[in-house]
Structures are given as structure tokens and as C-alpha cells.
Amino acid sequence: MTMLDKRMTPAEIVGQLSDGMTLGIGGWGPRRKPMALVREILRSDLKDLTVVAYGGADVGMLCAAGKVKKLVFAFVSLDAIPLEPWFRKAREAGQIEVLELDEGMFQWGLKAAAFGLPFLPTRVGLGTDLAELGGLKTVQSPYADGEVLIAMPALKLDAALLHVNRSDWRGNIHAFGPDVYYDEWFARAAAKTYVSCEQLVDRMEDHYPAEAQANIVERAFISGVTEIPGGAHPSSMPPAYGWDMKAFKAYTDAAKEPGNWAEVADRFVASDEQTYLAGFGGVEAVKALPLPIF
Amino acid sequence: MTDVTLAELCIFACSEAFRNNGEVVATGVGPVPRLAASLAKLTHSPELMMTDGEAYLVEQPVPLGPRGYDDRKAAGYLPFSRFFDAAVWTGRRHAMVTPTQIDRFGQINLSQLGGTHQQPKTQMLGVRGFPGNTIYHPNSFFFPSHTSRVFVAGEVDMVSGVGYNPAKRVPGGNYSAVDLRSIVTNLCVMDFGGPDNAIRVVSLHPGVTFAQVQEATGFELIDAVTGETALPDGEALAIIASLDPHNIRGSVIKDNPTIGRAA
């Protein structure tokens, strides 16, 4: 029988992950990142992960802590701070394997995985160094045009992590904000998807029946939910709160001085979520962070 | 008479790249390209589409810098979650960007410098959307500092965007939409109008010589100079000022030099 009550603690969610897994992380750069779940991974002894992400500080922190064996990425950036400092350090130390992709190829690979296809064809990547560096093969159209295309391999995920605005215990999620990026496709590409949310409600239909269009992916794709208000900090979670550029700056500065993750992990990860948030003024301060202006 | 800065001259020159583009999304990344796309929309090319820099399509270009979060007035919706479906992979876009390197083939690099792919000497952003942009829709470039470190000899360290290099073209691929348009720098305006899409200098900014541009470039340029780059007129300057009330454009080019006076 399917377990319909999908409530879990963050530690239970991370307990479902194992060394060597391929892990997708939703969001985009410094936006809508399931940072509290990432911090829970950083508190665990999980290792050798293949991380698949439109990267921000999630990638930077996991690289800095030595959790990443391989990274699948198109960029890693904090937007206003264009170069993610800890990712940069890991790359320049030759510490991680990479598969570098175009942003569009990346979502194409998630879609191939979602549909159970080995690959999807695309023009993207031709004429660049991506195919050679990534070992990407080509296919030829079997029709009269005979066009040669890159075969973008499926990015199959063992698990995906998302942070959404609300969920009920069955995994009926709502995601708001102007853009939900490719969260839906991370969920569909993954064997299991675990979601943290700003607000956990009992039965979604009793609370927010008029907002069902915010259900960006169906509950069949959600395996676990946990309520973590402020759980995207320091990334943004519109409309609830903006990113914490001060925190990103401190995190960026720390990559220079002291430059050693072990010395600053206490501040940027902490022993538990409440202690972490207290270091940044508590959850009320997070919820008061203004939305970014582009 | 109004003083014109070099940055304003560049914005005006960049805005020409968006003329007669039709109903496409004009994306300017960085202050000068973004102001250029906005200026184009507010003057000669109202048919252009553009976003607020986040997820909504606007008909009134959004000014740079701090303002009220909801000051934008959305007329449409184009989030990243449908950007490839709608704008990039359908070719309905023209992007103007600033890569870290560009070579004589128009190949661009935003990913890494030196070293190897496993261990680059300098890691930058990653290729982002450059591979898709360059094979699907027109692209132009703005460089605030024209040097041979940007306009490199040989080829760029990591080819992140498709250029006109025949050796890079996998046979049988469709490159028909590769369309590199304009390069504007702090010295001149260039295009890809030479033989086999070779890069030509088509106008020089006031006081700049072709020899100076060649000296600052790591490969041979074609001299197709037809004159001086046009100064923006008073109307254009007023629009630029209204779109950039915090004068962010003043920080783009070193020392923010004044270049002349507009009538």
C-alpha cells in the first residue's frame, strides 16, 4: 500500500539518500533553493554525490564540504555576485568531475529522463567544445533531411530536492513566485523527490482550493515533505522573501578569508536549522528580506 | 549642448543592432546592452519584446537599479521555465552579451580560462545559454575594454558559443541560424561582414584610429571604416538618462570619459 502521509523530518529525508547517488537540486542560481535540505546533507556523512543543478550556493557549499564527486551544470552563480566563490575554488583545485551543459540542454536532459528516453536530439552544443568535453554523441535524423544532432543523454536522478511555498501531507504542493524554473522537471526526472515547504497544511483542498494552478507537479512524483519556514535562505523564495545578499557576501568573503570551509561551516550550516537561522536574525528576519529588483 | 560620455555613445551604437529585428525578444545583459535594447524599443523599434529581467514581458522598458518591486507593468509572461520553448529554440530573440573572450571566428568563451577542463586556471560562470543562443538566434556583443586579452589570438580557451570556424562544424549539422551581428567596444563598432564572416571595423569612435584598434586586437581586422560612430542625439540622451536614473552606465567604462557634445 502506498504511504499517503509523506511527512518526514529533514534528517529522515537525508537518511533516504545514499553515498554515490545522483541528486538533482531545484531552483536557479540564488533563487528558490532547498537550502535547509542542503544544509541537512552538509550535517550528514553523505559523500560522493553527483549533483545536477542550475547552481548557486547549494553547489558551492556541497563542493566546499567535499560532498561532490561530479557536477552536472550550465552555470554556478549568485547573480549579483556572478562567480560562485566556493565552486570556483573546487574547480580550480581540480577537485570535481564535471559535465558542463548549456542551460537548455540541461532541461532537455531532465525531460528525456522524465519520459524514460535514453536521449533527446538537439542542435544545441554543435559548434562548441561541449560535445567533445562531455563525451556527447550525435545522431542522424532517419528522415529525408538527414540532419546530424547532438543526442542529449537523459539526466536520470536518484533523488531530487525542491523547496516550495506550501504542501499538504500527501504531497500536494503549491509553488508561487514569478518563475518556478525547472522544478517540475527535476521532480519528473527523479526516482524520488523530497520537498521542503514554507507552510505545511492538512488538506490542500480545505485551505487553498482556488490556487490549484500553483500545483506545478502532481503528488505522484513527491515522496516526502517537510515544513521548514525560511528553508530557502539565503536564496530567494518569492513571494515570501528575497535573497539575503548580505549573507551571500559574507559567504563569498569567507572563501577568501579564512578560505577554509571547515572554519566557517558552523556559521553557514550550523548544528541545526534553528541555530542556523538565529545566526541570521531568526526566521522573522528572513521573512522580512525584500524581494530582489532586477 | 550636452556632454556625451563614451558609455552613452556605446549605448546608442548598440541600440542600432536591434533595429529592424521584428517581434523578437531583445535581451541586453549588463547595463550598456540593456539600456541599448530599451532605447531601441523606445525609439526606432517599438515592435521589440523584452522582459523585466525576471519573468514578465514589459512594453515599457524597466529602468536600471533600485525602484519599487512592483513598478514594472507586466504585459506578458516569459519565465525561464518556458524561455527555451518560446524565445531561444524558436529563434525569436536577439541577445547582446559580454563574453570573457572572443576570437576571429566569433567563437566566445564565458566558462573558463587556462588549465584544463578538469582543472581550469580560472573558473568563470560556465557556458550558461551561449551554445543554444548562438545556434538558434542572432547575437551581438559589447565589450567595455577592447584589448587582446578579450579579442584573443588563436581561439578562445573554451568554445562556449558557435562561431564561423569551419573546423568546429560537425558535418550534417544545421548551422543556418548562426547569425553574429554586431560588436561594439569602447573603441569602435565591428561586424562579421568580411569574407567568410571575418570581423570588420565599420566605424571608429571619435579620436580613435584603425591602427589603435588593430593594436588592441589579437587577430587581423578588416578596415571597412566608413566614418565616425554617430553621437547620440538629445532625445536619445534623455531616454538613456530616464532609464538609468542612478547613472550605473557611468561605472561601465574606465574613468567614464566624455567623448563629445550633442546638439
**Per-residue confidence (pLDDT) for residue A137, from 0 to 100:** 98
Q: Which of residues 203-262 of A touch B (CB under 8 A)?
A: none
Q: pLDDT tens for residues B212-238?
A: 999 999 999 999 999 999 999 999 999
**Per-residue confidence (pLDDT) for residue B72, from 0 to 100:** 81
Instruction: Spell out the residues 6+ positions from residue A124 whose beta carbon is closer than 8 angstroms to its own.
Output: A102, A104, A105, A108, A150, A152, B89, B131, B132, B135, B136
* Closest Cα in chain A to B111: A75
CA pair distance A269, A294, nearest whole angstrom: 28
Cα maximum dimension of chain B: 56
- Contact of B89 with chain A, judged by CB distance below 8 Å, is answered with yes
B66 falls in which pLDDT band (50, 70, 90)? confident
Q: In the predicted model, is pLDDT for residue A112 greater than 90? A: yes
Q: Is the dihedral of CA B63, B67, B69, B71 positive or negative?
A: negative
Q: In the predicted model, is pLDDT for residue A1 greater than 80? A: no
As a whole-number percent, the residues of chain B with pLDDT over 70 amount to 99
CA pair distance B199, B213, nearest whole angstrom: 12
Q: How many Cβ atoms sit within 10 Å of the Cβ of residue A256? A: 9
For A236, which DSSP code? B
Q: pLDDT tens for residues A244-289?
A: 999 999 999 999 999 999 999 999 999 999 999 999 999 999 999 9
Min distance B177 CA to chain A CA atoms (Å)? 11
CATH of B2-255, one of 1.25.40.10, 2.60.40.10, 3.40.1080.10, 1.20.1440.230: 3.40.1080.10
8 Å CB contact between B151 and B219: yes
Task: Using alpha carbons only, give the angle A127, B201, B209 rounded to the nearest 5 degrees.
Answer: 140
B111 vs A133: CB contact, 8 Å cut-off? no
| In chain A, domain spans | 10-100+156-232+239-287
Q: Which of residues 10-29 of A touch B (CB under 8 A)?
A: 28
Helix (H) or strand (E) holding B121: strand B120-123
Q: In the predicted model, is pLDDT for residue A83 greater than 80? A: yes
| Amino acid symbol at A6 | K
Instruction: Spell out the residues 6+ positions from residue A69 whose beta carbon is closer than 8 angstroms to its own.
Output: A20, A47, A48, A49, A50, A96, A97
HSE on the CB side for B229, CA within 13 Å?
34
CA pair distance A168, B81, nearest whole angstrom: 24
The residues facing A52 across adjacent strands are: A24, A72
B260 falls in which pLDDT band (50, 70, 90)? confident
Give the residue among A181, A189, A172 at the shortest CA–CA distance from A232: A181
Q: In the predicted model, is pLDDT for residue A148 greater than 80? A: yes
Helix (H) or strand (E) holding A204: helix A204-207
Give ipTM to 2 decimals.
Answer: 0.96
| In chain B, domain spans | 2-255
| Mean pLDDT for all residues in chain A | 97
Min distance B169 CA to chain A CA atoms (Å)? 5
A184 vs B81: CB contact, 8 Å cut-off? yes
Q: In the predicted model, is pLDDT for residue B26 greater than 80? A: yes
Higher per-residue pLDDT: B105 or B262: B105
Q: pLDDT tens for residues A151-199?
A: 999 999 999 999 999 999 999 999 999 999 999 999 999 999 999 999 9
The pLDDT of B70-82, averaged and rounded, is 91
Q: In the predicted model, is pLDDT for residue B70 greater than 80? A: no
Q: pLDDT tens for residues B144-175?
A: 999 999 999 999 999 999 999 999 999 999 99
Q: Which of B34, B125, B174, B248 to mutate to test the interface with A (most CBs of A within 10 A)?
A: B125
Q: In the predicted model, is pLDDT for residue B262 greater than 90? A: no
Min distance B222 CA to chain A CA atoms (Å)? 24
The pLDDT of B118-122, averaged and rounded, is 98
Q: pLDDT tens for residues A9-65?
A: 999 999 999 999 999 999 999 999 999 999 999 999 999 999 999 999 999 999 999
Q: In the predicted model, is pLDDT for residue B126 greater than 80? A: yes
Cα maximum dimension of chain A: 64
| Mean pLDDT for all residues in chain B | 96
Residues in chain B with CB shorter than 8 Å from the CB of A28 are 80
Q: Which of A124, A137, A213 to mutate to test the interface with B (most CBs of B within 10 A)?
A: A124
- Contact of A105 with chain B, judged by CB distance below 8 Å, is answered with yes
Is omega for the bond preceding A234 within 30 degrees of 0, making it cis?
yes
**Per-residue confidence (pLDDT) for residue B153, from 0 to 100:** 98
**Per-residue confidence (pLDDT) for residue A70, from 0 to 100:** 98
The pLDDT of A63-80, averaged and rounded, is 97
Q: Which of residues 143-162 of B touch A (CB under 8 A)?
A: 158-162
Q: In the predicted model, is pLDDT for residue B48 greater than 90? A: yes
Q: In the predicted model, is pLDDT for residue B1 greater than 80? A: no
B116 falls in which pLDDT band (50, 70, 90)? very high
As its CATH architecture, domain A10-100+156-232+239-287 has: 3-Layer(aba) Sandwich (3.40)
- Contact of B1 with chain A, judged by CB distance below 8 Å, is answered with no
A93 vs B126: CB contact, 8 Å cut-off? no
φ, ψ of residue B220 in degrees (nearest 5): -75, 135
B179 falls in which pLDDT band (50, 70, 90)? very high
pTM for this predicted structure? 0.97
**Per-residue confidence (pLDDT) for residue A3, from 0 to 100:** 74
- Contact of A88 with chain B, judged by CB distance below 8 Å, is answered with yes
Q: Coil, strand, or helix at residue A62?
A: helix
Q: In the predicted model, is pLDDT for residue A2 greater than 70? A: no
Q: How many Cβ atoms sit within 10 Å of the Cβ of residue B136? A: 25
